[in-house]
Amino acid sequence: MILITGGAGYIGAHVALELMQQGDDVLILDNLCNSYRSTLDRIAALSGRRPGFIQGDVRNRGLLDTVFADYPIDAVVHCAGLKAVGESVREPLRYYDTNVGGTVTLCQAMAHAGVFNLLFSSSATVYGDCATMPIDETCATGQPTNPYGQSKLMAENVMQSMVCSDERWSVGLLRYFNPIGAHKSGLLGEAPTSTPNNLLPYLLQVASGQRAALSVFGRDYDTPDGTGVRDYIHVVDLAEGHVKALDALRTQRGVQIWNLGTGLGYSVLEVVRAFEKVSGVQVPLVFEGRRAGDIARCWANPEKALNELGWSARRSLDRMLADAWRWECHLHQEEATTLVS
Ligand code: NAD
Ligand code: UD1
């Protein structure tokens, strides 16, 4: 059985679905601080089975000890965490407590229970403002410009030290680039509980009429059209990467780091134009200054994951945007139905 912390969230839910579809038993632990219980129904509808669910906090050692004692868990995917950069600047202690403290508590409980296979949701933000593109795993980690990024790097360092001290561990640090998109059914996707910070969820809310315009942060970067360039990856490709990485953990020891990206970079304007093409909806834009802490360019060298896991991202940008739009329309319709009934 695989425990997914934060499994009711955007990425964890797609990982849960992918694992269940290939026959694994999944138990989700989530405190629902940034997700909805209804996500479990969506996973059940798509997989034909219900994942186990415990509503609880990953910082609660007593609860974790009970969970490991009660279920035959042999690996953990640790997605639980807080991820809003601006909020992390205002509430740094909450971010360090959850993202670093939560990881320490989870690792202590795992060691106590004799479970040593762990996959961690890390981020390309740990590379900081890397001078050379594409970024491969040998690039030094940089100086993340906000507490969120720092907390991800600190959590990675905690696990690196832990593995040096005890050779029973097998830990995979998955450095995600920019996950977007949704399940192709349109039934599972990202459901922000507050104003989104990231490009795609904000763009979707503009396109569906919930917000007036998309702010484009900076058009004077050293990029072909002056707007920021990122490596957007379909969330289902990302989830498939977790399945492959979990398989690899079962036969390796130590720490493995894998970038999960496509190796392709798209600018903000390229994303907007591609979205308009696949959806047929115009997106009003407002050009603004650069967002504090943003970097100009960031894309992965994904070869290590290909060579070591046999994994590569297969879904195109158009596919990511079409799937995301299908999900947004579904959510909108669901909300309208709930209001009417
Ligand atoms: P999300 O907010 O949708 O999911 C995180 C889940 O963790 C939520 O369901 C939330 O309720 C839960 N959670 C938060 N604190 C918890 C706690 N103390 N105990 C138990 N559950 C808790 O975010 P996501 O986009 O699915 O991200 C998942 C992980 O991937 C996070 O660790 C995030 O930092 C990392 N990550 C995300 C991105 C991205 O762009 N989405 C990029 C890089 C890394
Ligand atoms: C952001 C976080 C990063 C985190 C990642 C995934 C910051 C500074 N960095 O990365 O730590 O790991 O999300 O969760 O927030 N953009 C707009 N208008 C918007 C939103 C974004 O123009 O309304 C631009 C940004 O300037 C950037 C691109 O779109 O060029 C992508 O932004 P975003 O989706 O927030 O991701 P990152 O900045 O890469």
Say yes or no: CB of residue 39 within 6 Å of ligand 1: no
Per the DSSP assignment, residues forming a β-bridge with 135 are 300
pLDDT at 341 over 50: no
Please tell me if the CB atom of residue 208 comes closer than 6 angstroms to any atom of ligand 2: no
Q: Backbone phi, then psi, for 287, in 5-degree steps?
A: -85, 130
- 189 within 8 A of 10, measured Cβ to Cβ: yes
- Given a contact cutoff of 8 angstroms between Cβ atoms, the answer to whether 214 and 159 are in contact is no
CB of residue 216 inside a 6 A radius of ligand 1? no
**Residue 230 identity:** R
Q: Whose CA is nearest to atom 29 of ligand 2?
A: 199
The answer to whether 52 and 30 are in contact (CB under 8 A) is: no
pLDDT above 90 as % of the chain: 93
CA separation for the pair 56, 64 (Å, rounded) = 9
Per-residue DSSP letter, 230: E
Q: What's the CATH number where 52 sits?
A: 3.40.50.720
Query: Order of strands, edge to edge, in the sheet holding 266-267?
Result: 266-267, 229-230, 297-298
- For residue 179, give every residue at least 6 positions away whose Cβ sits within 8 Å of its Cβ, in sequence order, or none: 10, 11, 232, 233, 234, 235, 238
**Using one digit for the tens of pLDDT, what is the confidence trace for 135-176?**
999 999 998 989 999 999 999 999 999 999 999 999 999 999
Position 40 scores a pLDDT of 98
pLDDT at 316: 98
Q: How many domains does the chain have?
A: 1
> Which residue owns the Cα nearest ligand 2 atom 6?
178
What mean pLDDT value characterizes the chain? 96
pLDDT digits (tens, 9 = 90+) for 126-138: 999 998 999 999 9
Which H/E stretch holds residue 317? helix 317-340
Q: Note down the domain range covering 214.
A: 2-340
Give the pLDDT confidence score for residue 220 in this predicted structure.
Answer: 98
**Nearest to residue 177, comparing CAs of 119, 93, 219, 237?**
237
Q: Which atom of ligand 1 is nearest to the CA of 13?
A: 26
Give the pTM.
0.97
Question: Where residue 333 falls among pLDDT bands split at 50, 70, 90?
Answer: confident
Rounded to the nearest 5°, which phi and psi values hold at 220? -120, 25
The answer to whether residue 336 scores a pLDDT higher than 80 is no
Catalytic residue among 10, 95, 127, 148: 148
Say what angle helices 10-21 and 235-249 make with each other, to 10 degrees. Answer: 60
The verdict on whether 148 is a catalytic residue reads yes
With vertex at residue 202, the alpha carbon angle to CA 199 and CA 208, rounded to the nearest 5 degrees, is: 135
Closest ligand 1 atom to residue 124 Cα is 43
